[in-house]
Amino acid sequence: MRLTPGGDSPDVEDMRGQSGGGFRLPGGRFGLGGIIVLLVLSLIFKRNFLSLAGIGTGADSASSGPVAASPEEEKLKQFISRVLDDVQATWDTLLPQQTGTAYEHAKLLLFRDEYQSACGAAESATGPFYCPGDHKVYIDLGFYQELAQRFGAPGDFAQAYVLAHEIGHHVQLLLGTEAKVRRLQASHPDQGNALSVALELQADCYAGVWGSSAARRGELDSGDVEEGLNAAAAVGDDRLQRMSTGHVSPEAFTHGSSEQRSHWFRQGMTTGQVKACETIAP
């Protein structure tokens, strides 16, 4: 890609130097319910049970510290920051133009190993995800090494596709699609997986819509589209199932097959139109 890395995006929250969300005791993380119990006990017995449990009364939800990162990781962070700004600037214009809905910026939270999100624990093993509870994308930058080495999808546009896909979920939230699908899943639990696949494929298409804009603006290099298609195929359910179990179970798909994911990413790239991404029946 021809995006020139600059400074950090104002929409990036860098938590790589923090130990993770929640409160940690010698036995592990202390959840909100436990904190409430300790507060109640403190009020009843007039003793600081929080202090006795080793929790500072003014503690933040994570212990902070300096970010120790290699030059390569810092370069990747700057690139991802630049991609985030470009993706969101694109939606700033496209979403109201094409749908009449104003775009509101999401945040990108960078973490290492584990971090507590509004949707539960964000862990490196689960990969990047978008949390509708706090409008944030969670990414451990180490995932990109996995994407290149384990899944065979190297390249800067492959990296950008991952982030653009997650921002696609934010677009779904703003359009009301995310809430609609959750209601349908609640009323038709037998269609839960199929609806999840439809939601993910639409996010792939929205990533392609951004890619189409980047291409028109001359931000793509030769081979970038192929990198994006390869990344979409690399994380298809059929491929991941085959890698982990040796066989494919379509009924267990949650994100779509490699072919489906590539198809919908290409659909967005080709059309550049939100309305071309209707994977969910009205």
Provide the CB-side half-sphere exposure for 259 (13 A, CA).
2
The two beta strands, 136-139 and 107-110, are parallel
78 Cβ neighbours under 8 A, 6+ residues apart: 5, 6, 7, 8
Of the candidates 175, 232, 239, the one whose C-alpha atom is nearest the C-alpha of residue 204 is 232
SS3 per-residue string spanning 128-177:
CEEECCCCEEEECCCHHHHHHHCCCCCCHHHHHHHHHHHHHHHHHHHHCH
Q: What is the per-residue pLDDT for 39?
A: 52
CB 202 within 8 A of CB 277: yes
211-268 tens-digit pLDDT? 999 999 999 999 999 999 999 999 999 999 998 899 999 899 999 999 999 999 999 9
Q: What is the per-residue pLDDT for 46?
A: 45
Low pLDDT (below 70) residues in the chain: 5-6, 19-66
Q: What is the per-residue pLDDT for 125?
A: 84
Q: What is the per-residue pLDDT for 227?
A: 93
Of the candidates 105, 101, 71, the one whose C-alpha atom is nearest the C-alpha of residue 88 is 105
DSSP annotation string for 207-275:
HHHHHHHHHHTT-PPTTHHHHHHHHHHHT-HHHHHHHHHSS--GGG-SS--HHHHHHHHHHHHHH--GG
Q: What is the per-residue pLDDT for 33?
A: 52
- Based on its alpha-carbon atoms, the radius of gyration of the chain, rounded to whole angstroms, reads 21
Read off the pTM: 0.82
CB 153 within 8 A of CB 174: no
Residue ranges of domains in the chain: 22-60, 71-277
